[in-house]
Structure 1
Amino acid sequence: MNTTTLIQLFVFLLAGFVGFQSISRIPPLLHTPLMAATNAISGISLVASLVLAGSDHGLLATVLGTVAVAAAMANVVGGFLITDRMLAMFKRDNSRNKEGASSASAQ
């Protein structure tokens, strides 16, 4: 292994450790905005993988780009589904509010 590869491996491991530590300390109330930001970053990686898949750098680059497109797309779609589910927990249930208001006015 050359020096560049070792430095890149070190940065990757350090980023993984710092990312895990910072994400584990975020309160649950802030998970929804964090998911939205993560979806935006995944969208950027999707665009980059589309560029790689469409490039003319050989068969291996095209295959790896196609795999990256599939993985990034699954990540983006799954992230938006989870974010939608999390946001649905914060919505008020109008049927309960109407029932409560009608029973309160009847008394």
Structure 2
Amino acid sequence: MSQDLYTNIAIFVLSLLVGFEVISKIPATLHTPMMSGANAIHGVVVVGAILIALEAQSLLFYVIAFCAAVLGAINVAGGYVVTDRMLTMFSKPKAQNNADNDKGGK
């Protein structure tokens, strides 16, 4: 195995440990906003998958890059949906129309 592979594995393991430590320190009330933002930032993966697809030298690499782009796009869309649902929790309730609330008399 090459030295680059060992370096990349070490960076990956360290990022897992740091990520776990950071996420475990986040209070439950901030977890949803943090995750929705992280899913929206996931667009970087979509861009990376497109760049990899441009350089694909075989059909297998192209299919893997396409799957990564599709899954990344789904994650981005999910991030926006979660963010929208979260923001509606903090909005003022809409006033009901009197015509909808009429019961036939005063």
Per the TM superposition, whether the score is higher than 0.5 is yes
Unaligned runs of 5+ in 1: 97-107
Q: Is the 8 A contact 1:32 1:87 kept in 2?
A: no
Match of 1:50 in 2: 50
CA RMSD of aligned residues (A): 2.4
Q: Does 1:87 align with 2:87?
A: yes
Q: Is the 8 A contact 2:33 2:86 kept in 1?
A: no
The alpha carbon displacement at 1:19 in A equals 0.7
SS in 2 for 1:94: coil
Give the structure-1-normalised TM-score: 0.73
| 2:8 alignment partner AA | Q
Q: Is the 8 A contact 1:49 1:66 kept in 2?
A: yes
Unaligned runs of 5+ in 2: 97-106
Alignment of 1:1-107 (within 5 A): 1-31=1-31, 33-95=33-95
| 2:74 alignment partner AA | A
Deviations 1:19-43 (A, max 9, x none): 1110121124433552354134311
Distance in 2, matches of 1:53 and 1:72, equals 14
Give percent identity, aligned residues only: 38
Q: Which stretch shifts more, 27-36 or 69-78?
A: 27-36
Give the structure-2-normalised TM-score: 0.73
With a CA cutoff of 8 Å and minimum separation of 6, indicate the structure with the bigger relative contact order.
2
Q: Which stretch shifts more, 28-37 or 72-81?
A: 28-37
Distance in 2, matches of 1:91 and 1:24, equals 29
